[in-house]
Amino acid sequence: MTTIAVIGAGIVGLSVSHALRARGHSVRLVDPEPPGEGTSFGNAGLVANYATAPMASLETLRQLPAMLARRDRSIAIDPGYTPALANFGWRFLRAARPASFARHKADLVRLIDQAIAGQHALLDELDELGGEALYRANGCLQVVRDGSCSASALEAKAATKRADGVACEALAPADVRGLEPEVSTEGLGGALYFPETRSLRDPLSLSRRLYRALEGDGFTHVAARVEALAPLATGGWRLQAGETRLDVERVVLCAGIANNGLLQALGIRLPVVSERGYHVMLETPLALSRPVGWLTHHFYATPMQEGVRLAGTTEFCPPGKAPNARRWSRLADWGATLFGRPVEVAHEWVGVRHSTPDGLPVIGQVPGHPGLIVAYGHGHLGLTLSAETGRLVAGLVAGEQLPNHARALSPQRFLGHR
Ligand SMILES: Cc1cc2nc3c(=O)[nH]c(=O)nc-3n(C[C@H](O)[C@H](O)[C@H](O)COP(=O)(O)OP(=O)(O)OC[C@H]3O[C@@H](n4cnc5c(N)ncnc54)[C@H](O)[C@@H]3O)c2cc1C
């Protein structure tokens, strides 16, 4: 049994803790906040089996100028964040080259394949603990509107997904309405339907359920913010978290974008940047039975316990900057168009995704720092990849090499070796 500090109690840190406890290790989960209240609180709730293409591609680069020029753009780059984006930016451009894109996509397809099986098994295990059902298993839709995609182009997209091993059908407008009568017919061109996608009824319930499963012998939650970590001469690590000093054998960094500051203090710089996303919870009752996304605007309307959540948009900006209220109104406007009626907003939220240039998370041993493991950079897929992240970290702690499908995730790829 090893004593391991896991820093960060989001869905990634909780899943890592769960996998480590399952192997009999003693876990100190360090976070000043209650579990799951960071970015993991506000996501769209999709176990995104369909997300098999990294963002860095020639297609994205071609579309970017037009996307940035739109008045109702879903993507924004804060000029004040440009210096932090420099290292990310040039790597993003390199990752978009066709050969690199093909390699990263193949890595992502293999990772998603493993991750979905693990995430479904974890959801089923937690569901068996009792309480409200955590998820729906009736798929999701991605609609196209306003002539943005012809029927044949939609069929080609569906065929690409099927070639990636993902169940997917191209639907005509009448079939979309058959599944989700709330979706407005006006301008509706059809949809991609992913029948095997699962979605959460409430992301916070998943974090809380995982936390409950952790409680007991061998688990402690240290409610403090880690300010510094340093290697001990005798091996292991010393953490300073407020008044608390913690000596442990291993550390796993799962603090999201805050990992950057902790790593930089050790002289390590990884090109992981803050890519914020927003959501609004609707007061307007909508009888949706599964998540409905709108491809052009990259957002989802997900039915959750408290109502429908409209979640998405991409904003590269400093993590602590005040939210841009126009993004909330934009989400509500898109929702009103998608459902063909005005919508009332109950709550608004903003959170920080931690994103890498190649669209793959950073999971692995930090070179030159024995006993220090990182797990972040999950971008749009932290929920989807969380159980697999836990499994990989537990393997690393046991001294196993990353398996083939996960070799591409090592931090070494950004530090000069792969
Ligand atoms: C709008 C939006 C929609 C999304 N939709 C989806 C989706 O449908 N499917 C999907 O798979 N993913 C989705 N994501 C991405 C997903 O939500 C994230 O990848 C995931 O929540 C990241 O989890 P995390 O545990 O790494 O980070 P977090 O949940 O942010 O947790 C990090 C934790 O670290 C703690 N922390 C920070 N600094 C310190 C410190 N110094 N010491 C101790 N603790 C610290 C914080 O308090 C926090 O609790 C979405 C994201 C957004 C923004």
Name the nearest CA neighbour of 277 among 385, 389, 388, 378.
378
pLDDT in tens, 324-373: 999 999 999 999 999 999 999 999 999 999 999 999 999 999 999 999 99
Q: How far is the CA of 149 from the centre of ligand 1 (A)?
A: 32
pLDDT in tens, 236-289: 999 999 999 999 999 999 999 999 999 999 999 999 999 999 999 999 999 999
Pull the structure tokens for residue 23. 């192997």
Q: How far is the CA of 138 from the centre of ligand 1 (A)?
A: 25
pLDDT in tens, 374-417: 999 999 999 999 999 999 999 999 999 889 889 999 999 999 74
What's the pLDDT band for 295 if we cut at 50, 70, 90?
confident
Share of the chain above pLDDT 90, in %: 90
**Is the confidence at residue 53, as pLDDT, over 70?**
yes
Pull the structure tokens for residue 376. 């972040």
pLDDT of residue 193: 98
Give the residue, by CA position, lying nearest to ligand 1 atom 20.
382
Name the residue ranges covered by the structural domains of the chain.
3-41+204-271+358-414, 46-200+272-355
Domain 3-41+204-271+358-414 maps to which CATH number in 3.30.450.40, 3.50.50.60, 3.30.300.210, 3.60.60.10? 3.50.50.60
- Tell me the angle at which helices 98-127 and 203-214 cross, rounded to the nearest 10 degrees: 60
Asked if the domains at 3-41+204-271+358-414 and 46-200+272-355 fall in one CATH topology, the answer is: no
Give the residue, by CA position, lying nearest to ligand 1 atom 19.
382
Sequence letter at residue 379:
G
Pull the structure tokens for residue 221. 């939650």
Check residues 149 and 338 and name the one with the higher pLDDT.
Answer: 338
Mutate-to-test residue for ligand 1 from 15, 30, 40, highest number of ligand atoms within 8 A of CB:
40
Give the residue, by CA position, lying nearest to ligand 1 atom 25.
10
**Is the confidence at residue 44, as pLDDT, over 90?**
yes
β-pairing, 299-304 vs 75-77, is unpaired
Cβ < 6 A, ligand 1 pocket:
7-13, 30-31, 33, 38-40, 42-46, 48, 225-226, 254-256, 258, 277-279, 311-312, 351, 353, 376, 378, 380-384
- The β-bridge partners of 301 are 292, 310
Angstrom CA distances, 393 to 12, 109, 363, 369, stand at 11, 20, 7, 15
- The β-bridge partners of 250 are 4
Check residues 130 and 135 and name the one with the higher pLDDT.
Answer: 135
**Is the confidence at residue 45, as pLDDT, over 80?**
yes
Q: How far is the CA of 344 from the centre of ligand 1 (A)?
A: 26
pLDDT of residue 417: 46
Check residues 43 and 83 and name the one with the higher pLDDT.
Answer: 43
> Is the domain defined by 46-200+272-355 classed in CATH 3.30.9.10?
yes
Coil, strand or helix at 315: strand
Q: How far is the CA of 206 from the centre of ligand 1 (A)?
A: 13
- The β-bridge partners of 251 are 5, 372
Closest ligand 1 atom to residue 199 Cα is 8
Full-model pTM: 0.97
Name the nearest CA neighbour of 382 among 41, 31, 2.
41
52: left (phi over 0), alpha (psi -120 to 50) or beta: alpha
**Is the confidence at residue 106, as pLDDT, over 80?**
yes
**Is the confidence at residue 418, as pLDDT, over 50?**
no
Q: Rounded to an integer, what is the distance from CA 365 to the centroid of its chain?
A: 21
- The β-bridge partners of 199 are 46, 136
Q: How far is the CA of 120 from the centre of ligand 1 (A)?
A: 19
Sequence letter at residue 74:
S
Mutate-to-test residue for ligand 1 from 380, 381, 384, highest number of ligand atoms within 8 A of CB:
380
Closest ligand 1 atom to residue 259 Cα is 38
Pull the structure tokens for residue 402. 């990353």
Q: How far is the CA of 45 from the centre of ligand 1 (A)?
A: 12
pLDDT of residue 67: 86
Pull the structure tokens for residue 20. 């480590």
- Tell me the angle at which helices 203-214 and 11-22 cross, rounded to the nearest 10 degrees: 30
